[in-house]
Structure 1
């Protein structure tokens, strides 16, 4: 089957280069079921690669030629090799979490081959506490962060005794109707029909553009920022990645939000704000004006929790002022709260198409700067990316293994060397920090600063 790529997916493919792989990832930690034997992990791997009915999302890879009028399309892989995509690994001794994070850092540094379906899944054993890890990576042209989290949820169960569960890449019934098959000759015509269908929505774009530009000039929160300072994070990056992760009790963050009249997402952003302030102060690199974070806003929040095999992206963005210029933790939280609320009000006045268009406008300098080799000549559109994706609310299991924690890995880009992605799971909030190994020194120190900032926010909230 052949499907055209949506503009966002095509953009991720066009932006990718050796130093800037464009895939998202996830690390899950499981405890083995009681009575699991020595060969449990090997037997699980064997079961997983015996999958025969593979979901369409995991069979397609990008392709373009004269026959597609130069447009990127998805085509099925006629030589699909599951043992290439699903791999069994073991950690070196002493098998600490440190060795696991180092392995994930290396795996996350390499690009996915476009001549194959754009995903990998690694089953990892050798942790000295007996736990089992899964690391997966999927190209951002296939799924956005919300869709990736839904994919994870769709393969888990709240029943600890359920065995023989399908592999993540197996075809499962979906309530969503899949796209019909398309011939290569239909692609240009289909693109024209899509363009005409969007014409009525696009009629409101000039007004949305004027409002967005006016807010940006006044330094108000919107999809476009004009006043982000230059920092050590806003430099060209290398392909090497470093990954650090930790989680905290969700109840602690919720209590702060309730005591201060702010949201859970505000508290997450404030933790990142305080951690970044301390981190940059230690490096004598804190700018006088506040850092600006790009905060993705998913546009599929009300859709089914079963991942569609067609994948796709639907993400808007607001540029949030983090208040890193403020010395008090409580003041930083309020600054984030006000900025985020302003951004949400601005988005509420737009249609989904307008949100995507304005978000693309805000993102354009981040992509075009490196492409035109102007990263050092223009101010950054924002300083870092912080996103928060909700996860399962109850304890989950996979083939008898209890899911102990789930930690997201994301995409640093040229001129934007740090990405912080968070997700909730059961009673925990996990932070995954993905950075350029060279540009962001001592990345793991940010975990200590996040912990200290949570203490400071509790003190400011009177808890």
Structure 2
């Protein structure tokens, strides 16, 4: 693998990283051992993980910048790759509750990845008193976006409970054979020509897209730019310490609400989060009069591809969604969120993927500049928190016969944005992962109770309770 230039979006995640703001994403996967498995099954999984000889090139590359790269940040393969540095075996202290597991993940998630090595780690964790074991995997956001990371993880699992093969995500796999009968050189040339034409069209449309995006932001409409977020306790200087909380709810409950109310499941997720944040801030006496605004990432390739790129990278846009935390009625909150998201989707439909990325960068610029200027918590934030909904697998998956019973995402709190809520659908459940700054977001676990309460409130007003 030869050195390659780091794309601008990935480079932004590298450059914005600090000890107080590590920019990696992670997943906590919880497994039940196969029937008849020995007590050292987790150790066997670990040994299979480190026994991989051929490594996927994505998991060999590390960021470098020197005179050899003319001062440019590049990806280059790690010539001294050490699998045992990246894959580790841990055990929980007694009494081995889920609480101890989440505490361990909180500590692991607060530790930045070393740039001297490829930017990923995997931890096989045993010691849960109910016999289950866990796998915690973290990857730098410069390496892959959250949707790609989720797909990479799920692609290593099987839907067959009798399949005993264990192929971790960092294992190289032979490329699919292609037999198109076409001239590959001509294909590449045609693809480059189409790409060049597309970039020219995108560039010509950028001024109009920028004007429309800024106009919508000024009018307080849903777009990639927000100018009306209130100041909250989330919008302050954060530390590198993390607290993580997680819980699952049946996806059928959210689907029933969406069908009864004529909204989408993602609208219901945002309404749950809006109501939960409202209740949480009320408990603390910190609820502002104006509605909170959430930055909602959108994977631009989500509909076009069901598999993650082996080369990594980021293809993400954003919209700024008003959470209607200024209203007490759950039905009205859901209706407002649905109307706003529909409006935002119409605005995105007028832009190409490259234009969406560019406009999203415009919307994110204040969030990057305020910490650099030391103004977080002093002036109005561009948004208040981050909420992501990552599509996941519908079928139950297995790791060498071990049943995956839960998969919980951990993401990136930002300077001035101390709370990140990410959820992923899996096998009939919606799995929520809440990641917050340990000092800036007190009693993070309270949000789980409020999420549960708000789901019940939405069922009641939708008539499906």
The TM-score bracket by the shorter chain reads over 0.9
**Do the aligned residues in 2 keep the contact of 1:176 with 1:308 (CA within 8 Å)?**
no
Counterpart of 2:425 in structure 1 is: 424
Change (3 A) 1:43 1:80: same
- Let me know the Cα RMSD of the aligned residues: 1.4
Please say if 1:433 is aligned against 2:419. Answer: no
Secondary structure of 2:113 counterpart: coil
- State the partner residue of 2:189: none
Residue 262 of structure 1 corresponds to 263
Q: Distance in 2 between matches of 1:195 and 1:313?
A: 20
Give me the whole-angstrom Cα distance separating, in 2, the residues matched to 1:461 and 1:308: 40
User: What is the distance in 1 between the residues matched to 2:137 and 2:212?
Assistant: 40
Q: How far apart are residue 36 of structure 1 and its match?
A: 0.5
Return 5+ residue gaps in structure 2 as ranges. Answer: 179-194
Name the CA distance, whole Å, in 2 between partners of 1:174 and 1:157.
19
2:244 equivalent in structure 1:
243
SS in 2 for 1:203: helix
Residues 431-453 of structure 1 show CA distances to partners (whole Å, capped at 9, x for unaligned) of 10000000000000000000000
Q: Does 1:66 align with 2:67?
A: yes
Is the Cα–Cα contact under 8 Å of residues 151 and 307 in structure 2 kept in the other structure?
yes
> How does 1:182-261 map onto structure 2 within 5 Å?
198-261=199-262
How far does residue 2 in structure 1 lie from its aligned partner after superposition? 0.9
Q: Is the 8 A contact 1:265 1:388 kept in 2?
A: yes
Do the aligned partners of 1:224 and 1:359 also contact (CA within 8 Å) in 2? yes
| Aligned counterpart, 1:158 | 159
CA distance in 2, matches of 1:56, 1:411: 25
- 1:2 corresponds in structure 2 to 3
Q: Secondary structure at the match of 2:34?
A: coil
Deviations 1:121-169 (A, max 9, x none): 0000000000010001000001111101110121011100111221221
* Contact 1:236–1:415 (CA under 8 A) maintained in structure 2: yes
5+ residue gaps, structure 1:
178-193
Q: What TM-score does the superposition give when structure 1 sets the normalisation length?
A: 0.94
Q: What SS does the corresponding residue of 2:245 show, helix, strand or coil?
A: strand
Matching of residues 232-381 of structure 1 within 5 Å: 232-381=233-382
The alpha carbon displacement at 1:201 in A equals 1.7
Q: Residue 167 of structure 1: SS of its match in structure 2?
A: coil
Mapped partners of 1:332, 1:273: distance in 2:
8
Question: What is the DSSP-based 3-state SS (H/G/I as helix, E as strand, rest coil) of the residue aligned with 2:115?
Answer: coil
Structure-1 residue corresponding to 2:186 = none
2:80 maps to: 79
Higher mean Cα deviation, 435-444 or 34-43?
34-43
Deviation at 1:307, TM superposition (A): 2.6
CA shift, 1:175, in A, is 4.8
SS across alignment from 1:114? coil
CA distance in 2, matches of 1:417, 1:81: 34
Deviation of 1:174 (Å):
4.3
- TM value normalised by structure 2: 0.94
Deviation of 1:176 after TM superposition, in Å, equals: 10
For the residues of structure 2 that align with 1:284 and 1:264, how far apart are their CA atoms?
30
Q: In structure 1, what is the Cα distance between the partners aligned to 2:116 and 2:397?
A: 34
8 A contact 1:174–1:308 mirrored in 2: no
SS of the residue 1:323 aligns to:
coil
8 Å contact from structure 1 (residues 77, 117) kept in 2: yes
Report the Cα distance in structure 1 between the residues aligned to 2:462 and 2:176, rounded to whole angstroms: 44
Q: Is the 8 A contact 1:385 1:418 kept in 2?
A: yes
Q: What is the rounded CA distance, in whole Å, between the counterparts of 1:50 and 1:114 in structure 2? A: 24
Q: Which position in structure 2 is the counterpart of 1:169?
A: 170
- Could you list the per-position Cα deviations for residues 163-201 of structure 1 after superposition, in whole angstroms to 9, with x for gaps in the alignment? 122122101234599xxxxxxxxxxxxxxxx99973442
Look up the match of 1:184.
none
Query: C-alpha distance in 2, partners of 1:449/1:118?
Result: 35
Q: Distance in 2 between matches of 1:142 and 1:175?
A: 23
1:134 equivalent to 2:160? Answer no
What's the CA shift string for 1:385-413, capped at 9, x where partnerless?
A: 00100111011101010000100000001
Inter-CA distance 204–69: structure 2 relative to 1 (3 Å threshold): farther
The farther-off stretch of 363-372 and 277-286 is 363-372
CA deviation digits over 1:46-76, x for unaligned, max 9?
Answer: 1210100000110000011233232211000
Deviations 1:344-376 (A, max 9, x none): 111000011110000000001111111222223
2:390 equivalent in structure 1: 389
SS in 1 for 2:313: coil
Counterpart secondary structure, 1:198: helix
Deviation, 1:275, is: 0.3
Is 2:98 the partner of 1:109?
no
The answer on whether the counterparts of 1:397 and 1:403 sit within 8 Å (CA) in structure 2 is yes
Is residue 101 of structure 2 the alignment partner of residue 100 of structure 1?
A: yes
Q: Distance in 2 between matches of 1:125 and 1:450?
A: 29
Looking at structure 1, the residues matched to 213 and 198 of structure 2 have their Cα atoms a distance apart, in angstroms, of: 24
Q: Hey, what's the Cα distance between the residues in 1 that align with 2:264 and 2:219? A: 25
Contact 1:243–1:409 (CA<8 Å) still a contact in 2?
A: yes
Q: More deviation in 351-360 or 59-68?
A: 59-68
**CA distance in structure 2 between the aligned counterparts of 1:292 and 1:32, rounded to whole angstroms:** 42
Task: Name the CA distance, whole Å, in 2 between partners of 1:257 and 1:197.
Answer: 37
Partner secondary structure for residue 406 of structure 2? strand
